[in-house]
Each structure stands twice: as C-alpha cells, then as structure tokens.
C-alpha cells in the first residue's frame, strides 16, 4: 500500500472542486458536500449580527464560511469555520490573498445533519490548539450551543439563553432563539 501524498495549504488554495467544501487536516484533503439551507441561514445570521457589532467598535474583522485559516505547517492544516472573528491588532497587514497563518479569536461552527461528533471535536481541538480563544458550536437540531474556551472550560447554552463574546468580543451577545426560527 502506497502512502498518500500530503497536500500543502498553497496546493489547497489553487485546487478547484466546484460545489464542494474543502479543508486540509494534517496534509490530507477533506471534501464535504455543500451545507443545507438552515445551516447557511444560521451562519449568515451569526455573521451579520457579529459584523454589525464589530462595525460599531472597530475591534476587528468578521469572516464568512469558506475562509480558510492555516493552523499548522508541515503537514499543513487549513480549517474553515462557518464564521470567524479576528481582533484588529492580530489582523495580518497586508491582508493575504490566500489563507492567513493564524487562528481566529472566535470560530463558529454550525452543525449540519451529517456532521459526526468525533470530527467536530477534532475540529474544535484544532482551533483551540492553534490559539483560538473561543469556539461556538451551534446545533440547530437540538436548539443549543456549546462553548469551548482556550482555558479548557466548556458550557452548554440552551434555547432562551444567549452566547456571550466574553473577553474576546466584549459587549457582544447573541440570543439563540432568533437563530432557530
């Protein structure tokens, strides 16, 4: 059996697989089908609400789904959250055309029906290990969200409650119920 050749972040950037979502995990290409309508609506709603808050504070930038972040090199890992936030003082200048070599301060993942728990936890671990300070996993099916923090603590947020930007995005509060309409 021949070992699989590892791909680099640069090769991923130039790869064309129309209609597919791709990430790179320790040099191995991961290909997924596009997300469904509910997933896309919730991710867009989170991004819009976050962007609206950020514009008022000029505290950083918000990135939409399909924005890859290079988390490790040799072998390369490029992950693309559904929504991401990077604090202003950490933004690369000039802005790269490709994947920035940094982990976002906040990564938001919206679960799709086909997501596997083990794969999701691996993704959360990649974010936190690379330096992401706050990860929100929003589960539309169960109408809850899980919060994972850089210090190793976790929380479960139920419908009727809100996600808090904590010290990553001070003053930002995201009510869950409007996402689950």
Whether residue 113 lies inside any domain: the answer is yes
Structural domain contains residue 128: yes
How far apart CA 92 and CA 86 sit, in angstroms, is 10
Of 11-15, 145-149, 151-155, which range is least confident? 11-15
For residue 118, being part of any structural domain is answered with: yes
Task: Return mean pLDDT, the chain.
Answer: 92
Comparison of pLDDT for 32 and 101, the residue scoring more = 101
pTM of the model: 0.93
Please tell me the distance from the alpha carbon of residue 149 to that of residue 155, in angstroms, as a whole number.
9
Residue 146: CATH number of its domain: 3.90.1570.10
Domain tally for the chain?
1
Q: Are strands 83-87 and 77-79 parallel, antiparallel or unpaired?
A: unpaired
With respect to residue 26, please indicate whether it lies within any of the assigned structural domains: no
pLDDT value of residue 1: 53
Closest CA to 123 of 140, 139, 137: 137
Residue 95 domain-assigned?
A: yes
Q: Residue 87 has what pLDDT?
A: 97
| Residues spanned by the domain of 124 | 35-180
Q: Has residue 140 been placed in a domain?
A: yes
Q: What is the mean pLDDT of residues 123-127?
A: 96
**Residue 145 included in any domain:** yes
Give domain status of residue 173, yes or no: yes
Which residues make beta-bridge pairs with 63?
Answer: 84
Residue 138 near residue 111 (C-beta atoms within 8 A): yes
Q: What is the pLDDT of residues 25-59, one digit of tens each?
A: 999 888 888 888 999 999 999 999 999 999 989 89
Whether 2 shows a pLDDT value over 60: the answer reads: no
> Which tens digits make up the pLDDT trace of 54-84?
998 989 999 998 899 999 999 999 999 999 9
Compute the C-alpha angle 19/23/27, nearest 5°.
Answer: 135
Spatial distance between the Cα atoms of 41 and 31, rounded to a whole number of angstroms? 21
């Amino acid at each position: 059996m021949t070992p699989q050749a590892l791909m680099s972040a640069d090769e991923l950037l130039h790869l064309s697989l129309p209609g597919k979502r791709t990430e790179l995990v320790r040099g191995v290409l991961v290909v997924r089908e596009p997300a469904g309508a509910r997933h896309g609506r919730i991710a867009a709603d989170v991004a819009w609400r976050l962007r609206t808050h950020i514009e008022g504070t000029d505290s950083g930038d918000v990135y939409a789904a399909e924005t890859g972040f290079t988390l490790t090199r040799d072998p390369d890992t490029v992950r693309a959250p559904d929504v991401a936030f990077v604090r202003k003082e950490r933004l690369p200048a000039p802005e790269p055309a490709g994947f920035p070599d940094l982990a976002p301060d906040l990564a938001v993942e919206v679960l799709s029906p086909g997501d596997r728990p083990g794969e999701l936890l691996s993704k959360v671990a990649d974010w936190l290990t690379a330096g992401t300070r706050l990860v929100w996993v929003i589960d539309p099916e169960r109408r809850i969200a899980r919060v994972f923090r850089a210090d190793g603590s976790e929380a479960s947020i139920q419908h009727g409650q809100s996600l808090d930007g904590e010290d990553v995005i001070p003053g930002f509060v995201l009510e869950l119920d409007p996402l689950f309409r």
